[in-house]
Amino acid sequence: MHWINAVAIFIMIGSGWKIYNDDVIFGWLHFPDSIVIGKWAQYGLQWHFFGMWIFVLNGLAYLSYGIVTGRFRQKLFPISIRDIMATVGDALRFRLGHDDLTHYNAVQKILYLGVMAVGVLIVISGLALWKPVQFSELAALFGSFQATRVVHFLCMAAIVGFLLVHISLALLVPQSLVAMVTGGPVVDDGSTQPAETHPPETHPPETAVEAEATH
């Protein structure tokens, strides 16, 4: 799911930049043609819809899996202000530990929860942009078409920012990159049982008659 999502996001960001260039929101911002996907805006839209379906279907599978299996509850909760402050302090002093890749620190928990919320918001705003009449209830949440575009753009910017941090940390901690490729380190979930041991065999004490007959 991680790598499927990576491909989908790459397609959506590149094609989204092409769509943006056709009708810019900020006059000072224009994405170079060398980093966009689609020769024309219409091609960009087709690529965007293609990536959208992958992103949505994969996202639904990921969210369902995380909720049903309890993975989100186990990995991302609880979160406390004290833990967040301690983690930020360790990060500023370059003392963050990376020995246990199966454990998320407080900042990681916030980032993962935040990017999931942004992912949901970017889909909702995208649907409102795509079909503002059919999804009029969703469009009404943002007030106007232009406001919806701004929200959609800001969600994209937040995801790009998350990716920059995510990729940078993965490169700084090579074992995490290996784990993302191989499926992660082996986790002892306590299901392995120790080898069964048998007490040494004991024999009842010999009676005097048995002892005499033996000797």
pLDDT for residue 213 is more than 50: no
Query: Sorting pLDDT into bands at 50, 70 and 90, what band is 215?
Result: very low
pLDDT-based confidence at 158, cuts 50/70/90? Answer: very high
Q: Pick the most confident of 48-62, 102-116, 165-179, 184-198.
A: 48-62
pLDDT tens digits, 83-105: 889 888 877 776 766 666 678 88
* CB-CB contact of 84 with 106 (8 Å): yes
Q: What is the pLDDT of residues 13-52, one digit of tens each?
A: 999 999 999 999 999 999 999 999 998 989 999 999 999 9
H or E element at residue 35: none
Decide if 124 contacts 171 (C-beta within 8 A).
Answer: no
Q: HSE of 116 in the Cβ direction (CA atoms, 13 Å)?
A: 18
Residue 196 or 161, more confident: 161
pLDDT range class, residue 141, cuts 50, 70, 90: very high
pLDDT of residue 144: 94
Q: Of 82, 90, 18, nearest to 48 (Cα)?
A: 18
Q: What is the pLDDT of residue 33?
A: 94
Residue 195 has what pLDDT?
A: 47
The position carrying tokens 């191989």 is 182
pLDDT > 90: percent of the chain: 60
Q: DSSP H helical segments within 23-105, as ranges?
A: 41-68, 71-76, 81-92
pTM of the model: 0.80
Q: Which of 85-94, 131-140, 182-191 has the lowest mean pLDDT?
A: 182-191
SS3 state at 194: coil
Tell whether the model's pLDDT for residue 128 goes beyond 90.
yes
Q: Kindly compute the dihedral angle of the four CA atoms of residues 125, 30, 114, 142, in this order, to the nearest 10 degrees.
A: -30
- Whole-number mean pLDDT of the chain? 85
Q: Which tokens sit at 152?
A: 């959609």
User: Of residues 197 and 160, which shows the higher confidence score?
Assistant: 160
Q: What is the mean pLDDT of residues 156-176?
A: 88
Neighbour tally for 115: CB within 10 Å:
18
